[in-house]
Amino acid sequence: MKRSNYQIAKALLISGLIFSTYIGTIQAAQPSYKLTDLGALTTTGSSAAVDINNHGQIVGYSWAAGQQTSATIWDKGQISLLGGHALMSSATAINDSGVVVGYNETSSGQNAVVWTNGQASILDSNTATALDINSHGVIAGATYNSGPTIWINGTMEQLPIINSYYFSVARGINNLGQVVGSYELTTADWQIYTRAALWSNGNGIDIGAADGFSSSYAEKINDAGDIVGQSHNGFNGGAHATLWRNGVAIDLGSLNDGTEASFAMDINSHGQIVGYSQSGLFSPENNARAVIWFADLNPVMLDTLIDPLDPLYGQVSLYTAKGINDLGQIVGYGLINGKERAFLLSPLATVPEPGSMAMLLAGLGLFGIASRRNKQA
C-alpha cells in the first residue's frame, strides 16, 4: 500500500524534530577539556596565565622561588619573557593583534605598560596600571591622580568621575568602547562602599549589586554588553560572582550552594563565564577552585571537566580561571604535578550520550523509509 504525501510529510517532520532535538542536546552538553601545563620561565619556577586572545596567544607572569614576577607570553607553545627592565612586571591582557598591556614596578614607582612586538613602552608612570585592551587598541586602567582611565593611541583620557577618583578603576573594555570597573561610594553617614560601574557614551553609571549585597565591582564586558564581576558585603561579609545582563544583576552562586565566596573574572562572546569559588572571601588560595558557568548559569568545577584520558587527569588542582576566548579556551593557574603553573584548557568535541545517538539514528531511519516509499509511489 502506498503512503500518502501527508504520511510522508509527517514522517519527515518527526525525523526533523528528533534531529533538531539531538543537535540541541549536543549544543547544551558540557564539553570536556584537554589540559596543558604551560610551564614557566625556569624549569623549577611557577607561572600564572591571565588572558588569551582568539589566536591562542596567552599572557601572564612567571617567577622563580624568592624572585619577583616577570611579564610573560606564551605563543605557539613557546614561553617568552616580555621586554622592558623592571623590578617586577605583569601582563594583564592581550588583544587579537597581539598587543599586550600590564604594568611594571621600578625604583621610581609603578608604570602602566604596553608591549608591541615584545617591546615595552610606558603609557603612564604616575602609579598607573593597564588592565585591558580591545581589538582597536584602546586600553583601560587607572592612575593614582586621575582614577579610571583609557589610553587611545598612547594619549590618556580620564573617564567621568562618578563620585571620587580615589579607588576608582577601569578593569575591562569591549570592542564598542564600553568600559567597566568600580568606584568608591561614600554615603551621607560616611559609610563607604565599592560599587560596580559602567562607562558608556561619555557617561559613568552605578550598575548596582546582586540582591542581598551592598558592594560590587565589575571585571569584564563582552560585545553584547554582558558584564561579570562580583557582589559582596565588605571585608567580613559574603561574596558571589555576578552577571549584569539587560540591566539586571544576577547572582551566579558558588560551588557550595551559597556558603562559599565566588568571583567571575571573564566572559566570552557566547556568554561563557569563568572565575573561581573558595571557602571564604580571604581563604587561602589553595582552597580555591576554578569554575565555569555555561548557559544555565550554574557553577561547574573545571577539574571535573578534564578528559579522563588526559595524562594530567587526577594530578591537578586548578585554583582559578582568569580568561576565556571565543573558542572556549580557558587559561588560569593551579597546582599541576605539585607545581604552581599556568594552564590552558582546550575544549574537545562533545560526544553525544547513547540515548541522543539512538534518537538520531531512529530519526534518520524514518527519513530513509519515507524517502524510499516516496520513490516507490
Give 114-152 pLDDT, tens digit per residue: 999 989 999 998 889 999 999 999 999 999 888 899 999
pLDDT category, 154, cuts 50, 70, 90?
A: very high
C-alpha 311/C-alpha 307 separation (Å) is 9
Instruction: Output b/e per residue, 138-150; b: 16+ Cβ within 10 A.
Output: bbbbbbeebbbbb
Residue 134, SS3 per DSSP = coil
3-class DSSP string for 178-231: CEEEEEEEECCCCCEEEEEEEEECCEEEECCCCCCCCEEEEEEECCCCCEEEEE
Q: Are strands 203-206 and 215-221 parallel, antiparallel or unpaired?
A: unpaired
CATH superfamily, domain 30-349, is: YVTN repeat-like/Quinoprotein amine dehydrogenase (2.130.10.10)
Sheet containing strand 46-52, strands side by side: 46-52, 58-63, 70-75, 78-81
Closest CA to 15 of 297, 359, 375, 346: 359
Instruction: Give the pLDDT confidence score for residue 366 in this predicted structure.
Output: 44
Instruction: Give the pLDDT confidence score for residue 287 in this predicted structure.
Output: 80
H or E segment to which residue 36 belongs: strand 33-37
pLDDT above 70 covers what percent of the chain?
Answer: 79
Residues 216/194, Cβ–Cβ less than 8 Å = yes
DSSP symbols for 46-81: EEEEEEE-TT--EEEEEE-TTS--EEEEEETTEEEE
Q: Are strands 169-173 and 155-158 parallel, antiparallel or unpaired?
A: unpaired
Instruction: Output b/e per residue, 222-240; b: 16+ Cβ within 10 A.
Output: beebbbbbbbbbeeeebbb
Which own/partner contact pairs does 144-149 have at CB distance under 8 Å and 24+ positions apart? Answer: 147/183, 148/179, 148/181, 148/183, 148/197, 148/199, 148/204, 149/124
- pLDDT of 76 > 80? The answer is yes
C-alpha 111/C-alpha 105 separation (Å) is 6
C-alpha cell at 41: 620561565
Instruction: Give the pLDDT confidence score for residue 259 in this predicted structure.
Output: 65
Average pLDDT score over residue span 83-97 = 93
Residues 71/82, Cβ–Cβ less than 8 Å = yes
How many C-alpha atoms does 138 have within 13 Å on its Cβ side?
A: 17
- Give the lowest-confidence range in 11-20, 171-180, 233-242: 11-20
Average pLDDT score over residue span 66-86 = 92
Segments making up each domain of the chain, as ranges? 1-29+353-377, 30-349
pLDDT in tens, 304-332: 999 999 999 999 999 999 999 999 999 99
- pLDDT of 188 > 70? The answer is no
